[in-house]
Structure 1
Amino acid sequence: MRPQKILDTDMISGLTKVFRDKGYEGASLNDLAEVTGLKKASLYHRFPNGKQEMAECVLSDIDQWVDENIFFALLDETKSTELRLKDALKNIEILYDSGKNTCVLRAFSMHGGLTLFEEQIKSGMEKWISAFNVLGMSLKFTSTESQQNAIQTFIDLQGSLVVTKGLADTSIFKNTLKNIEKRYSIA
């Protein structure tokens, strides 16, 4: 068997970029083939179920990265809540390239993508909210405060990504991260 010319990590990175930039519906097979450096036939060889399988692979890859780098940081009770939050926020900044990257959950929640990926999108959102809820509970917030703060944190992150992209101003995203840190600071 011939060695693969395109590494899986490079291929997934390229697919992620196209889906972030164009959404599921807007990403054409030409775009996906071009970014991976593969011909359409080779792309279909790797992903027999086509664009949907490519998108599922991207969602799975990002989900795993977020689990390992953000949720694990928020839930790691061997560290102080302050350090857990700082680690998670640092990794959120990396995930979204200081606000330059669109959230994949948002990119897939448009048009037909929402129907195809509804469960993954819902699960992803619930995991974000749950992880911040746990952080709030560890800070002795009431369960209502903790849940409200977790939901607001997710809304703030998502909203700031949209506004940052629309205004081409990464300071909006960075300020949002600072405000989230203040929200969870021990008074």
Structure 2
Amino acid sequence: MRPQKIEEEEMLNRFAKLFKSKGYEGTSLAELAEVTGLKKASLYHRFPKGKQEMAQAVLLNINNWVEKNIFNTLTNQSLPAEERLKNGLLSIQQLYNNGNSSCLLQAFSTQSRLEIINQLIHESMSHWVDTFTSVGIAFDLTQAVAKEKAIQVLIDIQGSLIVSKGFNNPNIFMNTLKNIETIYTKN
């Protein structure tokens, strides 16, 4: 029987869903193979370093999506600051499925002891803060105040995802996004 094929993007999305639900440590190679329909040997052929390399690929894939759809939108100086913020928040809403999806950074940051994963998490969070700092500057905030608000925005997004999941109420996340917009537009 010919081995089953799966597109790279679909495979990474399935990995991401599993990692979000079970965390890095809680996800087994057998489960990763099962969600793709591939044999372990096929996974090792694609990812010779095993689960660590799969997790890296998932993080890089999501980071690329975030860069293209959120960060580039928020820093697009050809649009007014309000429009950039509104469009960026819509992409954040899409990324987290209106508050129904967990954050992969949260799933990995609480469990992974792998330096490369921790480095990717640090870089990603720093990029979120840098991008929202630039948003604050676009709204005429000082560098220091813009950075302070950017850190709070990251805390608000991540925290609201956790609280939304805990209360099984995605409206908590959606209200947080509205509040983030207000943070910048009501100055």
TM range (shorter): over 0.9
Against the structure 1 CA distance between its residues 88 and 3, is the aligned structure 2 distance closer, same or farther, given a 3 Å change threshold? farther
Q: Does 1:153 align with 2:165?
A: no
Counterpart of 1:183 in structure 2 is 183
Distance apart, 1:114 and its partner CA: 5.6
Counterpart of 2:55 in structure 1 is 55
- Paired residue type of 1:21: S
- Equivalent positions of 1:21-100 (< 5 A) are 21-100=21-100
Counterpart of 2:137 in structure 1 is 137
Normalising to structure 2: TM-score of the pair?
0.95
**Stretches of structure 1 lacking an aligned partner (at least 5 in a row):** none
Normalising to structure 1: TM-score of the pair?
0.95
Classify the secondary structure of the residue corresponding to 1:111. Answer: coil
Distance in 2 between the 1:112 and 1:120 partners?
Answer: 11
Distance apart, 1:159 and its partner CA: 0.2
Retained in 2: the 8 A contact 1:25–1:113? no
Counterpart of 1:123 in structure 2 is 123
Retained in 2: the 8 A contact 1:137–1:143? yes
- Count of residue pairs brought into register by the alignment: 186
- Paired residue type of 1:6: I
Counterpart of 2:15 in structure 1 is 15
Retained in 2: the 8 A contact 1:75–1:135? yes
- Paired residue type of 2:174: K
Distance in 1 between the 2:77 and 2:3 partners?
Answer: 43
Against the structure 1 CA distance between its residues 106 and 37, is the aligned structure 2 distance closer, same or farther, given a 3 Å change threshold? same
- Paired residue type of 1:13: N
Distance in 2 between the 1:23 and 1:183 partners?
Answer: 32
Classify the secondary structure of the residue corresponding to 1:112. Answer: coil
Against the structure 1 CA distance between its residues 62 and 119, is the aligned structure 2 distance closer, same or farther, given a 3 Å change threshold? same
Classify the secondary structure of the residue corresponding to 1:140. Answer: coil
- Paired residue type of 1:22: K
The percentage of aligned residue pairs carrying the same residue is: 48
Distance in 1 between the 2:26 and 2:44 partners?
Answer: 18
Against the structure 1 CA distance between its residues 113 and 100, is the aligned structure 2 distance closer, same or farther, given a 3 Å change threshold? farther
Against the structure 1 CA distance between its residues 89 and 18, is the aligned structure 2 distance closer, same or farther, given a 3 Å change threshold? same
Against the structure 1 CA distance between its residues 181 and 43, is the aligned structure 2 distance closer, same or farther, given a 3 Å change threshold? same
Distance apart, 1:104 and its partner CA: 1.0
Classify the secondary structure of the residue corresponding to 2:83. Answer: helix
- Paired residue type of 1:5: K
Distance apart, 1:112 and its partner CA: 3.0
Q: Write out per-residue CA displacement over residues 36-85 of structure 1, whole angstroms, 9 at most, x where no aligned residue.
A: 11111111111111000000000100010000000001100000001100
